[in-house]
Structure 1
């Protein structure tokens, strides 16, 4: 049992988490756009505002399941009792039309809620998503039910007056806080969010003077798409990623043991082979008297390790100067990280893309920029956190 799961919650903790989840529904700011943290939060929002957004419809059931098929919203029109299936997507999905066709067939065959729906009328299909892939339009044109399929795009906007959900030319308020906004636009309500039960217990074991910085760094991690938060049974380790297994992608880990409090980030690393996204787990040794997790804390060393950081290794030149099989130093001084990790072409290309947004072929200005950067890596912790987040979003896109 490496990490706690919902089955380990007591009844009281389950109630705590339910309250926390309701209180902490959120939007995230990423790539210059605002989106719902998850498809579930999008569904929650649509369900809560259903009568306002769809005044002509009746919501019959959310997540209606039949024979291994499950549609998001099964509805009917108030006037004619015509069946309407609404599928919600928080991101682009190439298989939308085939998914809607399967729902249409199973609903039509089983005639669910026949007392509420007139099945002599065609079933209307609505897909709501931020963008639609070209294949969606191709599949729609090829379908004999083309006239019954509608694509509705949505987007979310944020300004000083609040957050708005825009759909089909109409605007609706969104009261969820926005995570990941530039600090100048941060909503103070985020600082008062209710932590889930396991996370609360983990934070309680941290020194009190780290609590605020932990909350701030946690906001950044939890603002990323497809993110899960996992806590160990001892409440001494917390992991951020898609899962705990070897094949899951990970962004960050915080450990709190008798040997100290350590932050680990998955960052680009030096590799000889042509791995598309070379990453490794790095721990951070901060300068004396610098605050744990604070963005402006000064990093002295990065330690490439799958286990923990042994601070005594700093004085052991043999260990400190050792390398992994690709030639990555196990201990790297912070200002030399880019130079050390970017020693091979695929990691170099990854760095230039993440930090400059450029792909090969590189012009002279890109090479000049790289030469100015590679031997002068920033040493503030916030820079490394930002790089880890950029790497995460590149890995999962």
Structure 2
């Protein structure tokens, strides 16, 4: 969620900033959220909201300085007033509020606003670290009012004098959004993998961090998705299909970092598989074209049963993540 640049902290992406502002819109601006990423007349509005007076409020977020934010808000206003969604919750006869949130504003923004007839409000934000806590501070450029909310983020504590190389910055940034005990569990997992065999390398790619030899021969992978706060685990384990008794496949592992909850064979990427509980929270029109459990691809993740551990190479039935990781490591070593 957060990244360190020198002595300063910022959001890793505009989506991370949007997540925080959307979740705390009432605390930050006394507004009620109507929709995120709303598509209207070919334009995508970051946030559409309202207040107690039923005014239309359009919010555009930038994670870095941008010269054209006023023009964007003007186009969004035009599109929304033409379509007039949520007419039961909004009073379109009232003037709309257009809000821009960015770390800083280019001087062109102020020129554009000066000659615009709409009501445009500028807010700057910054991430502040106070001892072990992080805060988002939002400040009105015009009224000089400031509001702060705490961020669910902690700087990762590393063991002193560790003989292993420091964890990649991307991993540390992902761990910061997780509870301290989960942070230490994942770091301990990394430690276990790297110490298992001196030939295991830690390889960074654009999407993930892999553990094995070179770019291809991996046994463990930590992947990252901006929609998820923590890393996503993949392990190379035997395929269950009877046609591939000795074949090894890349499996996505859903875990609480102590036990395995679900798994699915995902040859590449993040895959479309999800536990059924997650599918049930998604509108059916957004499901894949094929039925969830049929066809060439399997879209429903398997609930993990301890007896599956035997097939994965464990000596006893278990749902322990550590035991399954050890099985993946041993099988990787045997393939060298």
**Normalising by structure 2, what TM-score?**
0.49
For CA contacts below 8 A with separation 6 or more, give which structure has more relative contact order.
1
Q: Of Structure 1 and Structure 2, which has the larger fraction of its residues in helix?
A: 1
